[in-house]
Structure 1
Amino acid sequence: MKYQFPEAFWWGSASSALQTEGESQPDARGETTWDRWYQQQPTRFHQQVGPQDTSTFYQHWREDIALLKQLNHNSFRTSISWSRLIPDGTGEVNPQAVAFYNNVIDELLAQGIKPFITLFHFDMPLVMQQQGGWESRAVVEAFSRYARLCFELFGDRVLHWFTFNEPIVPVEGGYLYDFHYPNVVDFKRAATAAYHTVLAHAQAVRAFRAGQYPGEIGIVLNLTPSYPRSQHPADVKAAHHADLLFNRSFLDPVLRGEYPADLVALLQSYDQLPACQPGDAELIADGKIDLLGINYYQPRRVKCRDSAVNLQSPFMPEWLFDNYEMPGRKMNPYRGWEIYEPGIYDILTNLRVNYDNPRCFISENGMGVENEQRFNQNGQINDQYRIEFVTGHLKWLHKGISEGSQCLGYHMWTFIDNWSWCNAYKNRYGFVQLDLATQQRTVKKSGEWFARTAVDNGFNEEGDNND
């Protein structure tokens, strides 16, 4: 059977500024929260490899874009670094950064690759964090100005903008679960940061519309379907609560222009609502998007709690549910994540049935594997497991499209092995292998497979394009 995708389907990959660019000298970009955290706690990073050790895109952008072309990308998502463009977050624009991003955008276009540009991918300028980060409305205003500057500088050529990548992650990591700076554990502060992120998103959308720029604006959300252990009402309610907190807290504002009433009621019942101001509701209503990016890696499986909450502990989402390990689940053991391909179909179906079938695309999906050198055959990584991972997800994506979902493309995380937050280079995700010592790039077997799939606009049953 041939899995054929719609005409003009977006085949590509995703990356981010902080994970790829490097070049963090003071004249090149301002300090971010990641730079500061690494200075303070280097042992929190795998093998103490920090954000200065990236895949050097700042130097090798032309070579890397040539590789994108070789892999038959027609689209590529990366981000602009706020701290590179405006080193202190609010002051002068850095002309070197403008020249760099102009070069990247122009070269992508020259190679027939659509640039998809994200404004914020976890890299908060340190100066902005010191003023309160997303807890501060002043930082929301500063982000709005930064967004406007990006539209003015690059909006004539960039036709696909995204305000945020996975905005729930800095909230979870920075204010709940201690895996991002500033390492706070406080739900109310988390709720405030999340709420202000939605306001910042809506401000950027408003500015984009006011400027009447060509193209479209959206957001990239990591959607993790919440599956209850059973159909017992207590398990179903637990899954609903997880869905409200981790998916719908961003999905509803950006698609419906308002928060779910039951999420508001839930937070109110625990006295965890953020402070609202006049005009906020109208602003959020103005933040409805043109295009939704969907990052999908794993499902969330939950059950009702079977033990009492310690009322002396800080209020956490886990007061409302427990995580559940489904027997027999398929795992990526290196990342500790379940591999569940139908989840991608369930996301698309939910959007089609419950959210008026928005225009969307898969903006990330990927498989990180440790010590990939084991699979080196004649100088090339034979990552058949990655090919199987992608084909498994694409089959369910194809089913969603065949039933009417408006999914316009598939971007893999990521193009080239890159630095990954606290995991550094522990797990490799790329279609292209990166030799850290020499910075040499070598296309993996999956990269060759993807190049054939993109040019054929599909693949056949075995995931083998050679038949």
Structure 2
Amino acid sequence: MNKYIFPENFKWGAAASGIQTEGITNKANESIWDLWHNKSPERFYRGIGSSLVTDTYNRYEEDVQLMKKVGFNSFRTSIQWSRLIKNYETGEVCQDAVEFYNNYLDEMIANGIEPMMNLYHFDMPAELQEKFGGFESKKVVDLYVDYAVKAFELFGNKVKYWITFNEPIVPVEGGYLYDFHYPCKKDGKLAVQVGYNIILAHAKAVKEFHKLNIEDSQIGVVLNLTPSYTRDEREEDQKAAWYADLLFNRSFLDPMVKNEIPQELCDVLAEQGVTPETTEEEIACITSAKIEFLGVNYYVPRRVKAREAEYELDYFTPEVYFENYVNPEGRFNPYRDNNEILPTAIHDIAMNVKDNYGNVPWFLAEIGIAMDEASEGKPDENGIIDDTFRTDLMKEHLIQLHRAIEDGANCFGVHQWTFIDNWSWTNSFKRRYGFYRLDLETGNRIPKKHGVWFKELATTGSFEG
């Protein structure tokens, strides 16, 4: 057995989002998820929408105590734009939301839990999507910045870590390429414009944050970085992986972290006829908006090979340059659509950030081990669910993170997805990730064995494995 010791003052906790946990009580406006569920409940697993969640709005005091019970010293969640802003044109805030978020933040801080607050977690206000096209529109970019400034002003004295966007490529993929988020469009050129506008919104918000000079406060972004691995070493496969990395990782990582827009990306977009509308002023903003930290989300690797079959879609997606590939020798999680398990990808991501992105301070903002309720089983005689599978896999990933830190990675924390099993978009509660199970009928939080292990990890900063 080896002992793995992490740095002092390491951040241990979990990640969630407002829309996946708060519920709809006293919410000022609808988000696109409320709208879409009303329109098409059949798109959601068992028809469950975001009204059935952990109800943090009413149970935050109880939940903060549960955070303490598993050793959290930090927690990332999000403010809901559609909860905080009552009138999008005037910027009028909902006072009930201000009171709720202040109380929630105060409760975390009073219990030694550092809040890390994200401003956008896929939850575009429905009115702005329907009226303007959401981030298709630069007007909505400016409305987002107005909202961000309100949040900074209202809660900046309590929040030391601000995050502009969580996984900004996901609304692009889901809403405009692959039809798993609203507005369910398939338009490559529009997808690129939305991606660019999100990068611009991020940059403008970062600039406004720095103007406020909030003492002892930082701003960053959370990106899902998925390394691209090839079938083998043949040159055409290596080129396929290069394209996948450029389009899925560097497209956001370079502008948001290095403040550079890759020329290769511009060339690819021009070749495909999907170059976004930009201005020199916007580019200057993007290339000068400095962040202080990066969050990295990792779940599964990407496997690619050179394209062999003819590309059949009538619109641009990154797959015009490659095909996805399943590693015949890989390990797979039987509880999450047989997704590949590859803990060494954590080390590869960390070395990429270290070597190519200035060794920016970063934290593992999401790492989640999915199980379904049946595989977790029923509580034992002590009322605890045995999810040892989750703990064993988490150890493997953290060993790779520890190796990366020893190799110079500038990592300052780990947040597991997620705290209490939460509602997850169209999958609703199909997969479970939490330290606590949510009983959908009673709302009870049922502890899992993994939380006992995690508390020891968080308390000592070390584990044996």
Q: Tell me the residue number matched to 2:50.
A: 51
Checking the alignment, whether the CA contact within 8 Å between 2:27 and 2:82 is kept in structure 1 is: no
In the alignment, the residues of structure 2 paired with residue 351 and residue 300 of structure 1 have an alpha-carbon distance, to the nearest angstrom, of: 18
Correspondence list, 1:266-277, <5 A: 266-277=268-279
Q: Unpaired segments of 5 or more residues in structure 1?
A: 462-467
Distance in 2 (CA, whole Å) between partners of 1:13 and 1:387 is: 14
The equivalent of 1:330 in structure 2 is 331
Cα distance per residue 1:220-252 (max 9 Å; x no partner):
000000112122111011101111111111100
Distance in 2 between residues matched to 1:355 and 1:278, nearest whole Å: 24
How do 1:30-41 residues align onto structure 2 when only pairs under 5 Å count? Answer: 30-41=29-40
One-letter amino acid of the structure 2 residue matched with residue 268 of structure 1: A
Give 1:137 deviation, angstroms: 0.4
2:249 maps to 1:247:
yes
Q: Which residue of 2 aligns with 1:205?
A: 206
> Deviation of residue 348 (structure 1)?
0.3
Cα distance per residue 1:68-90 (max 9 Å; x no partner): 11111110000000000003434
Counterpart mapping for 1:141-290 below 5 A: 141-214=142-215, 215-290=217-292
The residue that corresponds to 1:101 in the other structure is 101
Q: Indicate the SS of the match to 1:78.
A: strand
Mapping for residues 341-352 of structure 1, pairs under 5 Å: 341-352=343-354
Q: Deviations over 1:232-283 (max 9, x none)?
A: 1110111011111111111000111121111111111111110111301111
Task: Give the aligned partner of residue 447 of structure 1.
Answer: 451
Deviation at 1:354, TM superposition (A): 1.2
- Is the 2:164–2:219 Cα contact (8 Å) retained in structure 1? yes
Q: Within 2, Cα distance between the matches of 1:80 and 1:58?
A: 12
Counterpart secondary structure, 1:171: helix
- 1:91-132 deviation digits (Å, cap 9, x = unpaired): 310000000000011111100110000000011001111211
Bigger Cα displacement from structure 2, 434-443 vs 106-115: 434-443
Contact kept? 1:416, 1:430, Cα under 8 Å = yes
Change (3 A) 1:248 1:76: same
Counterpart-to-counterpart distance in 1, 2:202 and 2:3: 40
1:307 deviation in Å? 1.8
Q: Match for residue 19 of structure 1? A: 20
RMSD across aligned positions (CA): 1.1
1:402 correspondence with 2:406: yes
Deviations 1:305-355 (A, max 9, x none): 112223x72222111100010012111223222111001110000111111
Task: Give distance in 1, aligned partners of 2:243 and 2:290.
Answer: 23
1:458, CA displacement in angstroms?
1.0
Q: Distance in 2 between matches of 1:363 and 1:204?
A: 20
Percent of aligned pairs with the same amino acid: 47
The amino acid that maps onto 2:112 is G
Among candidates 317, 339, 342, match of residue 341 of structure 2: 339
Indicate if the aligned counterparts of 1:31 and 1:87 stay in contact, CA closer than 8 A: no
Report the Cα offset of residue 374 of structure 1: 2.3
Name the SS of the counterpart of 2:280 in structure 1. coil
Aligned length: 458
1:436, CA displacement in angstroms? Answer: 1.3
Distance 1:145 1:2, change over 3 A: same
Q: Distance in 1 between matches of 2:370 and 2:86?
A: 32
Residue 89 of structure 2 corresponds to residue 86 of structure 1: no
Q: Would the aligned equivalents of 1:15 and 1:78 in 2 still touch at CA under 8 Å?
A: yes
The amino acid across from 2:122 in the alignment is F
Whether the aligned pair in 2 keeps the contact of 1:15 and 1:77 (CA below 8 Å) is yes
Structure 2: how far apart are the matches of 1:186 and 1:309?
15
Q: Residues 33 and 129 of structure 1 are in contact (CA less than 8 Å); yes or no, is this contact kept in structure 2?
A: yes
Tell me if structure 2 keeps the 8 A contact 1:238–1:303: yes
Q: Tell me the equivalent position of 1:464.
A: none
Q: Secondary structure at the match of 2:290?
A: coil
Partners of 1:195 and 1:181 in 2: CA distance: 18
CA apart distance, 1:376: 3.2
Conserved 8 A contact 1:16-1:78: yes
Structure 1 segment 365-404 matched on structure 2, within 5 A: 365-372=367-374, 374-378=377-381, 379-404=383-408
Tell me if structure 2 keeps the 8 A contact 1:119–1:147.
yes
Q: Secondary structure at the match of 2:118?
A: strand
Q: Tell me what 1:75 maps to.
A: 74
Q: Is the 8 A contact 2:116 2:159 kept in 1?
A: yes
Measure how far apart 1:380 and its partner are. 1.6
Contact 2:162 2:219 (C-alpha < 8 Å) held by counterparts = yes
Q: Is 1:417 equivalent to 2:407 in the alignment?
A: no
Deviation at 1:375, TM superposition (A): 5.0
8 Å CA contact 2:377–2:386 kept in 1: the answer is no
Query: Partners of 1:286 and 1:30 in 2: how far apart?
Result: 34
Asked if structure 1 preserves the Cα contact closer than 8 Å seen for 2:87 and 2:93, the reply is no
The residue number in structure 2 matching 1:465 is none
Q: Is 1:138–2:139 an aligned residue pair? A: yes
Alignment of 1:424-435 (within 5 A): 424-435=428-439
Name structure 2 gaps, 5 residues minimum: none
Contact preservation (8 Å) 1:140, 1:200: yes
Amino acid at match of 1:454: A
Any idea what SS the aligned residue of 1:428 has? Answer: coil
